[in-house]
Amino acid sequence: MLIVSMLSMIIFFFSNILMLISFFLSKKSNMDREKCSPFECGFDPKSSARIPFSLHFFLITVIFLIFDVEIALIFPMISTFKFTNLIFWTFTSMIFLTILLLGIYHEWNQNMLNWTN
């Protein structure tokens, strides 16, 4: 047990010494102009890179990703139809589809599915 603890202490100190050496020898520049500027295919950007994006477009993409994952969860349900109890399969699939329909109804009520305002 003493050997394991001594070996772990040696490894700990050796790794800390290596991290300190790499920290002092690195050529890190905090305010480099090229690193702070936005990258646009190797050229300087023609306009501001900090333009605001459409929040509505972001919400539509999040809704799409959520329903895309839910579609991916529906596909295994189809393949398990042959191997499970019909009543249990119907009950679980109806609960899952009801939750999906309630979610899309809620988004429709909140006018999240309208692309133009």
36-67 pLDDT, tens per residue? Answer: 666 656 666 666 656 667 777 787 888 888 88
H-type helices in the chain, by residue range? 2-25, 33-36, 55-79, 86-109
Check residue 31 and give its pLDDT: 65
Helix axes 86-109, 55-79, angle to 10 degrees: 170
Distance (Å, whole) CA 66 – CA 52: 24
Residue 68: name the closest of 100, 99, 92 by CA.
100
Residue 67, token pair as written in the block: 């329903």
As given in the structure block, the two tokens for residue 69 are 């994952």
Q: What is the pTM of this model?
A: 0.48
> What pLDDT is attached to residue 58?
80
pLDDT beyond 90 at 25: no
